Structure 1
Amino acid sequence: MIILIAGDTHTGKTNLAQKLLEHFKIPYLSIDHLKMGVNRSGNSVLTPESDDDALTEKLWPIVREMVKTCIENNQSLIVEGCYIPFDWKKDFSEEEKKSISYLCLIFCRAYLEKNFEQIRKYENIIERRQYSELSLPDMLHSNEKGLQNCIEYRLDHILIDNKYEVFPLAVASIEKQLKDRT
């Protein structure tokens, strides 16, 4: 089983991956770790501050092939990060897609407007951020864009609109996706 967890910055992808690791006993890969490894190794001109599209273009082919290798070897992995493209399905065969569950975390406008400072408070809950140029207008725009893309590509997502209770919804979504395939 492969679980892809996508979403905008600060939506809790890494925290959710950690909880899913504990629940399903499946290791996870943070694409941010891969990004930092590529950057620190000197194998890329991109930096952590590079445009998300440029980072996706560089990192997704590597992650995609790691996922395919796991599927070929019947291994499970949770992959989380901002750099999973919304059109990810085009990169996998129908058979491969049967092994993949996808979930995108999205904040709704009202939640962001009400809880922006709280979101900032928890930004280092799993990983320390060396920099954070988080702004409410940017988050409003990118989460709305993410929701539109999930609808366009018919992707499972959790819309965080009242309370931040992602874990039970994520487990239910993943289990439903697995059940629907059998």
Structure 2
Amino acid sequence: MVILIAGASHTGKTVLAQKMLEKYKYPYLSIDHLKMGLIRSEQTDLTAEDDDKLTDYLWPIVREIIKTAIENGQNLIVEGCYIPEDWREDFTENYLKKIKYYCLIMSEKYIEENFAQIKKYANIIERRINDDYCTKELLIEENKHNLMMCRKYGYNCILIDEQYNIDVEI
């Protein structure tokens, strides 16, 4: 089984992947780690700020890692914001039967009421060097976009509205 965990920045994708690793013993791949490895090794001229270009660059690699895991009967959690909206189009039905997708989405109300906490816990797993780009307005915009995308494609979304308490059963 391959579990895809998507969502905007600061929604807790890495925290959920870590919890699932501990609970189910499924390894996880952080797309951010792959991104930084390729950038730091100078395998690309892209930078960490090139989000749209990074999705186009990283997804073909991640897609083939997913296929390889499925073909080998291996469990894997893949988490990150570089999963394209139309990811399903890259897999046949045989692969899709072995992929579960979850998108973490914070409601506007949750962001408005908990922005200080969201920022406070931004480094719970990853050590963010500079988090100044993350504004309340940006989070609201990205999460609204992801909610519309999930509705459009019929994807599973985990809505964080009242309190932050996420668990996924597989």
Q: 1:119 is matched by which residue type in structure 2?
A: I
> What TM-score does the superposition give when structure 2 sets the normalisation length?
0.98
1:44-71, CA deviations, whole angstroms, 9 ceiling, x for partnerless residues? 1111111x21110010110000000001
Q: 2:56 is matched by which residue type in structure 1?
A: E
1:55 match: 54
1:156 aligns with 2:151: no
| Alpha-carbon distance in 1 for matches of 2:130, 2:91 | 34
What is the CA RMSD across the aligned residues, in angstroms?
A: 0.7
> What TM-score does the superposition give when structure 1 sets the normalisation length?
0.91
1:111 match: 110
| Alpha-carbon distance in 1 for matches of 2:130, 2:164 | 24
Q: After the TM superposition, which residues 91-102 of structure 1 pair with which residues of structure 2 at under 5 Å, given as runs?
A: 91-102=90-101
Q: After the TM superposition, which residues 71-90 of structure 1 pair with which residues of structure 2 at under 5 Å, given as runs?
A: 71-90=70-89
How many residue pairs get aligned? The number is: 169
1:42 match: 42
User: Post-superposition shift, 1:24?
Assistant: 1.0
User: Post-superposition shift, 1:23?
Assistant: 1.1
| Alpha-carbon distance in 1 for matches of 2:11, 2:149 | 16
1:139-160, CA deviations, whole angstroms, 9 ceiling, x for partnerless residues? 1111000000000010001010
Identify unmatched segments of 5+ residues in structure 2: none
1:67 aligns with 2:66: yes
1:179 match: none
1:122 aligns with 2:125: no
1:71-108, CA deviations, whole angstroms, 9 ceiling, x for partnerless residues? 11111100000001121100000010011000000000
Moved over 6 A (4+): none
| Alpha-carbon distance in 1 for matches of 2:47, 2:52 | 12
Q: 1:98 is matched by which residue type in structure 2?
A: K
